[in-house]
Structure 1
């Protein structure tokens, strides 16, 4: 198949952020398909027009559209619509058998539908977040007209999709609530890159050698975005509670985002910065592998928002792939997985109570070792990226086939 793949925030392993689209696309190429990725180049300055590179067989079309997490809501919207306008024109000029568009942002539906109709090729829409449910829940969308238009855009995207891919059962249910046929929805969650996180005894040693301040103490790793919805302040208060308990356990936070400065200030005020809590700048995907190898537990956290329980957090699956036990502070399907398999721990939202949970948990060496094995077993049996890429390939082939039959 010739696949046109639209993802505004595509990353390669040498870049910061999620690499799901890259990993899926390169596996599709490996299975004999041609993939053209339409994406944005987010760095400010330099490039002014489209450029093309080839990344592991993927033909990547880059449009310069500066973007970072510190931007205000209006600036983000401008970036979304600028990309949508130019990406639609670009994609409509490329031949393809099927078009795959992945959110966020939901505005990706505009160029996807335009190109799909222009080229008379079916569209598969991948839902990474229930948008606009999330912006409404956190108050980013408040005006009734904005909410109305956002909901219309959501339904517009689903209405024109031959198939929908949802990243979690909760997201699937949200799509069904809009009236979309359940039989045309496939759940393909974020996945575990067992190749990238293959066991390497020297990986953890490399990370600790770079950070002698950690010593040989056990630590909890958070590697991801430091945005408002992520609620990483929780980990700063957790470090404070652990310090009061005089435990050797440390917290390591790697990332960047709008809350980075606030986290630094809170950590300084509580006296935990560079004591039992360490803040490091973002690392590439390759470098993050070493951090997971060194960590004794990996954390995924969010603010207390029921809508976030439908999320499919990349860091959760990276932890499983590395055989690292996972700690989360929210409920939902990921909490159910941990409770069912013993691959980690569901923490209380009260950092003081959570500190006690961690103390008790790490006091049981057998439980800790078993959790690491359970995490890796879960990664291999249910979330292997190779297997999930095959499922995505099947969805794309069904969409392309059904479209030809109807035509």
Structure 2
């Protein structure tokens, strides 16, 4: 099958960011499919015109430089979404395909996906990573009634034109079916890359010895975006309380985003920066395994907004892949998993100081840590391994292509 795969912010393991699309695409190639990924190049540098084509382990990747970062204004980000929407529509329409697949965010990637599929008379499959416009409305980012109406209409249009929808969590699936009850929705959450995170203990020991501030101290890590939805300042406030209880505990924040500077300033104001709390700029995905291998616990944070509980954060599944307990400050399906299995901690989203006490109490509890590590590993292997979830994903594509062929054969 020839697949056009549209993802505005695709990353490979040499880049900083989630590699879901790369991992799915390379497995499709290994199964004999042809995959063309259409994406943007947001690496720093001068703006270049035209498409650049590369090969990522058999995946043909089409890059067009469209600047984007979380420091941009809302209007400037919308412009980047619209620019890619137009470019991707033209590019996708020129590539032969048996199926067109598009993954959000942003929601606007549905436009080139639907239009290219119509031009090629092939099925369109849409992957929902965040519910739009529900999430930006709940966060207060989308206040204009006209903009809300347009975003809702675009979501309805995308679902109506999809042969199938892939949702990254149960809550997202419910949100899709509220708008379009008839569309087939399959839940394929983010996954645990177990092989990637299988790190040699000697590499972990070397990492700890290399950083004198760490040594054999407990380490709590956060790896990922520092955006408006994440609220990583919560972890800084928790670290302040942890230092009062156990000054030896260390917190490492690795990432990038709009709240990078404000989070660093907060840590500095409390005298935590470069002592209890360390902050590193974003690193390639391939560097994360040793960092998580050195961690006592990993964390995943969001603002206390119930709509965000439906997230499927890569950092949650990376922790499972590394067999590390995961501490989260939100409810929902991931909190339920932790409660059922004991793979981590669910912290009070409104009490970061209390969270600091809970984290400090567990960071040196070797019996609890051993049980939580085992539980995390079991979840990774039995329920969220990349290979296991890929089978479900590929099944959606095959069913969508087969359903369309059956309909065309009737006429």
Equivalent residue number for residue 106 of structure 1: 107
- Of 82-91 and 209-218, the range deviating more from structure 2: 209-218
Partner SS for 2:101 = strand
Cα separation, 2, equivalents of 1:209 and 1:25? 37
Cα separation, 2, equivalents of 1:353 and 1:238? 7
The answer for unaligned runs of 5 or more in structure 1 is none
1:203–1:155 CA distance, 2 compared to 1 (3 A): farther
1:108–1:272 CA distance, 2 compared to 1 (3 A): same
Equivalent residue number for residue 358 of structure 1: 359
Cα separation, 2, equivalents of 1:359 and 1:197? 25
Count of matched residue positions in the alignment of Structure 1 and Structure 2: 406
Partner SS for 1:386 = helix
Residues 342-391 of structure 1 deviation map (CA, whole Å, 9 limit, x = unaligned): 11011122122112212332343111111011101100000010111111
The answer for unaligned runs of 5 or more in structure 2 is none
Cα separation, 1, equivalents of 2:308 and 2:212? 35
TM-align CA RMSD: 1.1
User: Superposition pairs for residues 327-406 of structure 1, below 5 Å?
Assistant: 327-349=327-349, 350-406=351-407
Equivalent residue number for residue 132 of structure 1: 133
Given the two structures, how large is their TM-score scaled by the length of structure 2? 0.97
- CA drift at 1:247: 4.0
| Alignment pair present for 1:25 and 2:38 | no
1:352–1:12 CA distance, 2 compared to 1 (3 A): same
Partner SS for 1:215 = coil
Partner SS for 2:213 = helix
- Of 265-274 and 243-252, the range deviating more from structure 2: 243-252
| Contact persistence 1:159–1:180 (CA under 8 A) | no
Cα separation, 2, equivalents of 1:62 and 1:99? 17
User: Superposition pairs for residues 130-209 of structure 1, below 5 Å?
Assistant: 130-181=131-182, 184-209=184-209
| Contact persistence 1:203–1:289 (CA under 8 A) | no
Cα separation, 1, equivalents of 2:205 and 2:309? 34
| Contact persistence 2:252–2:279 (CA under 8 A) | yes
Given the two structures, how large is their TM-score scaled by the length of structure 1? 0.98
- CA drift at 1:46: 4.9
Cα separation, 2, equivalents of 1:66 and 1:367? 45
